[in-house]
Structure 1
Amino acid sequence: MNDTRALAAQALAEVALRGASLREVMERQAPRLADSRDRALLMALVSDGSRWWLRFDAALDRLLERPLRDKEPRIHALLVLGLVQLEILQLPAYAAVAATVQAARELKRPQLAGLVNAVLRRWQREREQHLAALDAQPRTRHAHPAWLARAIARDWPEQADAVMAADNLEPPLMLRANARRGTRDALIEALRAAGYEAQPHAWLRDGIVLPHSTDVTRMPGFAEGLFAVQDGAAQIAADILDAQHGQRVLDACAAPGGKACHVLERADVALTAVEFDAARTARIRQNLERLGLQASLVTGDAGDPSAWWDGKPFDRILIDAPCSATGVLRRRPDVRLHRRDTDVATLAAQQKRILDGVWPTLAPGGRLVYITCSLLRAENEAVVQGWLAEHTDARVVSLELPVGQAAAIGWQVLPGDGDLDGMYYAVLERIG
């Protein structure tokens, strides 16, 4: 099968109805299309299909007499994609409808081609009334699960609508210039010469911003390790960790290695990167090799240093803790389909366990930076507050960034602040 919309429907059904990872599905499906434009359309369809699933899946309940989710999941996903093409991608209606009907045939469901055509035509006729009904509820207005919409409104009542709207916008492509292999200005010049609209980030010294996503492996300098893809919110980590030459540094939850690599690009340090999953450890190694960097890689449990720590204290520790990823929905739209409210308490317990585990490995006077890509207070300041109550040998280091807002402890960047992803930061110092 090489029909882009048919492949997209198959991929979206896996993501939305079977719980598959968007990244893993795309890595499997995209190589089946030879043309880069077709691959770009596939990515746009599946990403926006995941992002807007909760809106247009609900729309189909209004448009279909009998649901198709269980018996014909790929056709159900194809209909969602038809609505995405009309409303989000705003493709010409005649082309979007005709191509979607043809995709039903490519999916070997010619008997349902007429139904696909009828549903999309009905949407066009009754569009205004359906949009009004969908906009009446937060879940379908912003395409966020009800539990998450409530949590955002509870934690960030004044910013809730802006946060959920930001989650549904295409993020810019952000790069991090590898200071070990050249200057940011030289890289920007090379990118512009190749036709890319590259701009220096306003206040992140290694950051480069491009307006749209693209195949970075085809960009000048990628193969040579001149840059990595990393959102600006993640680039902040190296700034506040402030690792100095000669120090021992621990990245306790390191995959895929972006923050560890950034620290190594900034300073000559002895860095140990710990990751629980062996496959994800391999990804760290690949990134280190492409960027020309070296670190000690450990596959192990950050919460149980007895299995991997050599007893020598670290001067700096970075914990990019496992979390709900509710701050990065614009880049990982499938998270909103897979995450559940019951996950948050489990994750918070895991975060505290990791803090407890690595704290004894920090040298007196050393600095620990705790980060999540969550915007939920239960995973952020609540975890740090609870942990601090049990550790009298820790103090909070004050922190202020050009964007975002102070939290009860630490600093919170919400999705869209400064056009960055959502991320929480707390800096702790060991007393003694």
Structure 2
Amino acid sequence: MNKLFASFSFNTLKHTARWTAITTPVAIAIGSMVALFLWLLNRAIHFRFDHPWLLYALPLAGIVIWFTYKKWGGASDKGNNLIMEEIHTPGGGVPKRMAPLVLVATVVTHLFGGSAGREGTAVQIGGSIAQFFSRQFKLNATDTRIMLTAGIAAGFGAVFGTPLAGAVFALEVLTIGRIQYDALLACLVAAIIGDLTVSAWGIHHTAYHIDIIPAAHTALSPYFRLDVLLLLKVIIAAIAFGITSRLFAQAVHTVKNTLNKIVSVEWLVPVVGGVLIILLTLIIGKPDYLSLGVNAEYPGAVTIPSAFTPDGAHTWSWLWKTIYTAITLGSGFKGGEVTPLFYIGATLGNTLSHLMDAPVSLFAALGFIAVFAGATNTPLACTIMGVELFGGEYVLFFAVACFTAYFFSGKKGIYGAQRLAVPKVHSNT
């Protein structure tokens, strides 16, 4: 018995040491490249703030991105889906050029005002670097799958400063309804090291704050520790968050399919998308829905942080951001979907808080994570993200919002390569 226990302990220690040693240099490389990406992205966004005329060159930027990917991109154009496909069914691998291509293309997209995110870029950087190291280490197919999953975790955890959410996201996003824990150690190590590396480079993430919610005093208070009325409001809002997630995913697919159908010349698709973004901005009369939506271009602009304040969003801000992002990504510009989803969720949460007389900052936070949870089918990771970003005091509300949004977001999300293991709702017929 003692020999069996000793053998098991030794094998566990050996496994832990091996994957820590393998994953650490990979995560450092990913974290360093993500840090470079975040620095360049910040510089590009503020450069456009100082030179707003750059928006009018967005169609030209789209042409450059299209021809760049046409000549050098190859399979890289599949983006996050390529990495997920390689994890599910190994094929040609993730090309080395994916990382620099998507980094430059995303920075260019934001430099000229395209409405996109950064998660897709970080994940693709992670997958590309992880594949490169896998070949250098001569890993077998099983270990390569684990390394690619760890690459997703490192990229995600590093770009948002949420290492635990990054690790769980990488495990949860691959297959709806199932988590494979064989990559857990590698993902956790990669996400933590990636996040620490970004911090070591002096890159800081946006801080968010939820105001203290006064204790409710109702007829039910003597019987329930939890504010039942507030919980009901959270559930109603979460249903709206889930439906919005579904709307976003469908909007991106619809714009892409429609433009590819009506525009016969392929390189003109991003031109049309860029022109539409310019026209919308001129019609609305303000640039609030361009780029990331984290930094304010002018005082009073609607941003993700502003959505946490009572007057920090307009009623339809979430819808405008949905339209802008669907056009940007659907027409071939590069970047991720997640930060726009944060924006959509936070501003929708702000609007719903006024309609339901609920705490503004709490509902902005709930929308922030729940719309993302519904669009990516990762409610557990998003609940953890809520704790990492906003603190653990309202974790029950985070979980209720994320899981409710997940159930109401439909069968598919924003990732076409995501597989279904367990249906969200079992049919009795």
TM-score when scaled to structure 1? Answer: 0.30
Structure that is richer in helix per residue: 2
TM-score when scaled to structure 2? Answer: 0.30
Structure that is richer in strand per residue: 1
Bigger RCO (CA 8 Å, 6+ sep)? 2
Rg (Cα) greater in structure: 1
